[in-house]
Amino acid sequence: MSTNNRKIYIFDTTLRDGEQCPGASLTPDEKVEVAKQLERLNVDIIEAGFPAASPGEIEAIQKVSKVVRTPIICGLARMVEKDIDAVRQALRFAKRKRLHVFLATSKIHRDFKLHKDTSEILKLAVRNIRYGKKFFDDIEFSPEDASRTERDFLVEVVGAAVEAGATTVNIPDTVGYALPTEFGQLIAYLVEQIPALGKTVNLSVHCHNDLGLAVANSLSAIQNGANQVECTVNGIGERAGNAAMEEIVMTLNTRKDNFSDNCYTDVKTKEITKASRLVSRLTGMVVQPNKAIVGRNAFSHESGIHQDGILKLRQTYEIIDPKDVGLSGSQLILGKHSGRHAFRERLEKLNFHLSVKQIDVAFKRFKDLADQKKYVFDQDIEALVEEQISKIPETWQLVYLNTSSGTKAKPKAEIHLKRQKKVYKASSSGDGQVDACYKAIEKILKMKLKLVDYSIQSVTSGKDAVGEVNVKLLHQNREVSGRGTSTDVIEASVKAYLFAVNKICSQQIRTKLAPV
């Protein structure tokens, strides 16, 4: 890169802010899987969690720190010494580490949440940054709700933080209130008032999507001097989510002409689709079909006019090459006559690296699926393999399922589940076949569970398409997600329910607080 180019650092907070979505809790092993993919993406910083939330959170961050070595690993803390000490403990194995401290600065937060005046806020910020500096060379400071903070006070508190030792200053649009023009002007104003920002001190932004403007605000900030953006895979996060990492990265790649100083990132874009699907699967947060970059329809063309244009020149209707974000650009059609060799080669092309034993299991499941439908597409293979390699132990396994229903008959279900070597049986009726199945399962489990969300979508097209069911169960005031796939939507529904139940049984879901 020439000296005229400006690197934009990607600070990924999928494992912290993204995981704060209701029902999106990840086990320590799942956090590690996401972190490893983020490392393959080559993001610069991974915010691995909020250590003060629970001992389980500390354990998860330590696991991430032991495995992921290239990116900086970051932990979030409030402006209190015990939170900072928790980050120290969580990051003790990290090769490269960062402390991220935050403190609300807007008048509404000062008056109604903290009950502190500006002088108290300044003292808290300076004291705790200096305390953190005893243990961390790399400290990031976030004035929470910065976009609604009085400009003069924002300059004062940011300046004090820099003087106290902050090496990165992050400007959050915490409630997604700002418009792109005014947010860009705010960043330009801070750069003008504190010249070190964006130079000797990194200038970051953290934008929420309450008005659908998180990516636009982040890009406006970059145009006005920010050199770090905080974002998440698929844009997941609190409320309406965060700025979507894939949209920011691909906008910078695609529209270099609109950034005068040739902004770039070091993200390996061909890993984007893999990251998106992994995060969606593990969190249960389904990606909307028309989502930019990673949605199912992002590179699909049905219109005859569009198809004609694409065949003549791809760029007529595609401004991004699907291969640049990790898509093959074509569908491989497999069927029941396909052999193990072809199946194994397709797995490798889809970037699945399985053991011999895993391939044997996947091939059997593929053959079973091929007997049920005429063609097996790439998405079918991805769905069955991703479900197979989940790290959640199968405490309860489905052995037998039978349902009946009719226009004048009450739906009934009989379920047989196996735990260890013992088979448990139960029957029940319900408002529908799925409801009957879930009630039968509850009889076996004898657990208090509440179904709070149920969604079903087709993984592929056609009357024999694989159905994907996502559920969220409420257990002891905590939402837990589950996912199941099958050509039979009733079976997929039962699999999804049992997936969530097995998550609960693993006893690895951790309690979290919900800061910034």
Taking every pair of C-alpha atoms in the chain, what is the biggest distance, in angstroms?
76
Quote the CA–CA distance of 62 and 166 in Å, as a whole number: 24
* Whether residue 31 has pLDDT greater than 60: yes
pLDDT score recorded for residue 460: 63
Confidence of residue 21 (pLDDT cuts 50, 70, 90): confident
Per DSSP (E only), the strands in 180-235 are 202-207, 228-231
User: What is the token pair recorded at 427?
Assistant: 């029957």
Per-residue pLDDT tens over the stretch 466-502: 788 989 898 888 788 888 888 889 999 999 999 999 8
Range with lowest mean pLDDT among 87-91, 335-339, 433-437, 487-491: 335-339
- Is residue 474 classed as helix, strand or coil in its secondary structure? strand
* Whether residue 335 has pLDDT greater than 90: no
Quote the CA–CA distance of 114 and 104 in Å, as a whole number: 8
Q: Is 213 exposed, middle or buried (0-12, 13-18, 19+ CB in 10 A)?
A: buried
pLDDT score recorded for residue 1: 38
Quote the CA–CA distance of 502 and 314 in Å, as a whole number: 45
The answer to whether 17 is a known ligand-binding residue is yes
φ and ψ at residue 455, rounded to 5 degrees: -140, 150
Confidence of residue 509 (pLDDT cuts 50, 70, 90): very low
DSSP β-ladder status, 6-7 and 263-264: parallel
pLDDT score recorded for residue 515: 42
Predicted TM-score (pTM) of this structure: 0.78
Q: Is 406 exposed, middle or buried (0-12, 13-18, 19+ CB in 10 A)?
A: exposed
Confidence of residue 373 (pLDDT cuts 50, 70, 90): low
Has domain 6-283 been given CATH number 3.60.21.10? no
Task: Please state the domain extents for the chain.
Answer: 6-283, 323-388
* Whether residue 355 has pLDDT greater than 90: no
The answer to whether 242 is a known ligand-binding residue is yes
Per-residue pLDDT tens over the stretch 255-304: 998 887 889 999 999 999 999 999 999 998 999 989 999 987 787 654 44
Q: CA 245 → CA 14, 59, 276, distances in Å?
A: 9, 26, 10
pLDDT averaged over every residue in the chain: 89
* Whether residue 514 has pLDDT greater than 60: no
Quote the CA–CA distance of 127 and 186 in Å, as a whole number: 26
pLDDT score recorded for residue 344: 81
pLDDT score recorded for residue 396: 93
- Is residue 43 classed as helix, strand or coil in its secondary structure? coil
The answer to whether 208 is a known ligand-binding residue is yes
Report the pLDDT averaged over residues 60-67.
97
* Whether residue 377 has pLDDT greater than 90: no
User: What is the token pair recorded at 405?
Assistant: 């229903």
Per-residue pLDDT tens over the stretch 229-265: 999 999 999 999 999 999 999 999 999 988 878 899 9
Quote the CA–CA distance of 393 and 257 in Å, as a whole number: 50
The answer to whether 337 is a known ligand-binding residue is no
Give the burial string for 351-388 (b: 16+ CB within 10 Å, else e): ebebeeeebeebbeebeebbeebebbbbbbbbbbbbbe
Report the pLDDT averaged over residues 115-123.
97
